Amino acid sequence: MSDVVSRARVLEAEIVAARPEMDRLRRLPDGLAALFRDAEFYRLCMPRVHGGLEAEPRVVVETIEALAEADASAAWCVTVSATTGAFGAYLEPTTTSAIFTDPALIFAGVYAPMGKAVVEGDGYRVTGQWKWNSGGQNATWLCGGCVIYDNGAPLMLTDKIPDHRMMLFPASDVTFIDTWHTSGLRGTGSGDMIVRDLFVPRSHSVSLIADKPRIKAPLYAFPIFGLLAIGIAAVASGNARAALKEFAALASTKRTPTGRTLNDRGTIQSAYAEAYARLGAARAFLFAEIDAAWIQAKTNPSITLEQRASLRLAATHMTRTAADVVRTVQDLAGGVSVFVADPLHRRLADAQTMTAHIMTAPATYELTGRALLGVPVSSAEL
């Protein structure tokens, strides 16, 4: 097992102990974020030349999965920050030396182009409000997607797609808005962030469509969206694996009115075995596609469109299957699981919330289906 995966497992007790504070704050506590920073989880996808781990995708997934077995919100924040760290492969050396050499760096942000960036000299004048800013309140640097405007109109990449870039800015330039009131992934702090009339140098921006990685390493042959998708799938997998274990522990002690334990009932045994198999099959599919993509990445500057589609499909299938599995065992647990304090109640709320993410939402089936059937699809979508 990789050292970083081992470090994730060692922190299980601290993560579980931090759950009440996560729920109270509705974000990751600073102390827990510091533990993750010191364990280098936020540097999983960061280039090695900038002090990152540049870990293989399988190791990234196994690390996040291990964290999610302790708590899904904690793992979710790591996923966002770790994948955002891959931007270090795209930025100019002067920018990375100013940002990534800071040992206290925690990077986070929102990919969706909810902001507006007006061309101004050698940079942009940025204003925007972004939702879903997971882990942002623990970050030292943030980024937000922006549509690019010049002469009062959006610049267009095609007749339908506007030009948009990720803008990077210090957390001190951001205002956070407390909008995160949810039942699932409560501890991620995924509220809104705002910047107003902020100048961002062009060197502090990245296009996920037009820019190519400056660092030629296998990890950066993976598309950013593919990395994010398998990270989400890892959270879903770890959360569901823990739910199966938690149900098994409950089933060995909880008794029916007849005095039998749950695990002694044939219907329970059959349903549990089926759920266990479904999760294992989805996980095997995910790792098979990760490994296949990694083989391509080690010999090519980018992986094929078909492989990108298979990777996204496997991540979506994992995320949605995991939610079904958690729903199954929560149902098998009966009345005890409806209480907020019950572990399976938390697992189900987190699992269901994950399925809403755009990277693993139902529309991904249509997107990947088009690609796998040979219908034209833009590589930027995958």
Hey, which residues does 148 pair with through a beta bridge? 117
Domain extent for 158? 107-206
- The predicted structure's pLDDT at residue 91: 95
pLDDT in tens, 174-220: 999 999 999 999 999 999 999 999 999 999 999 988 899 999 999 99
If asked whether residues 117 and 162 sit together in one domain, one would say yes
Same domain, 246 and 361: yes
Residue 94 placed within a domain: no
Question: Based on the number of CB atoms within 10 Å of its own CB, is 11 exposed (0-12), middle (13-18) or buried (19 or more)?
Answer: buried
The domain that holds 50 is classified in CATH as 1.10.540.10
Q: What band does 171 get if pLDDT is binned at 50, 70 and 90? A: very high
* Cβ-contact 7, 48 below 8 angstroms: no
In this structure, is residue 67 part of a structural domain? Answer: yes
- Clarify whether residues 255 and 377 are in a common domain: yes
What is the helix (H) or strand (E) element at residue 303, kind and residue range? none
- What φ, ψ does residue 199 adopt, rounded to 5°? -85, 130
pLDDT per residue over 102-146, tens digit each? 999 999 999 999 999 999 999 999 999 999 999 999 999 999 999
CATH of the domain at 292: 1.20.140.10
The predicted pLDDT at position 1 comes to 52
**In angstroms, rounded to a whole number, what is the distance separating the alpha carbons of residues 248 and 251?**
5
**Same domain for 227 and 354?**
yes
Q: Is residue 95 part of a domain?
A: no
Per-residue pLDDT of 65-113, as tens digits, reads: 999 999 999 999 999 999 999 999 999 999 998 899 899 999 999 999 9
Residue 146: CA atoms inside 13 Å, Cβ hemisphere, count? Answer: 32
Pairing of strands 141-150, 107-120: parallel
Residues 229, 201: one domain? Answer: no
Domain boundary pick from 89, 121, 144: 89
Which residue, of 38, 63, 89, is where some domain finishes? Answer: 89
Residues 340 and 377 in one domain: yes
Res 378: pLDDT: 81
CB atoms closer than 10 angstroms to residue 122: 9
Distance CA 276, CA 204 (A): 45
**In total, how many domains does the chain have?**
3
Q: What's at 361, amino acid-wise?
A: A
pLDDT tens for residues 204-263?
999 988 899 999 999 999 888 999 999 999 999 999 999 999 999 998 888 877 778 888
What is the residue type of 232? I
Residue 302 CB: number of other CB atoms within 10 A? 16
Q: What is the CATH number of the domain that holds 198?
A: 2.40.110.10
State residue 341's pLDDT score: 79
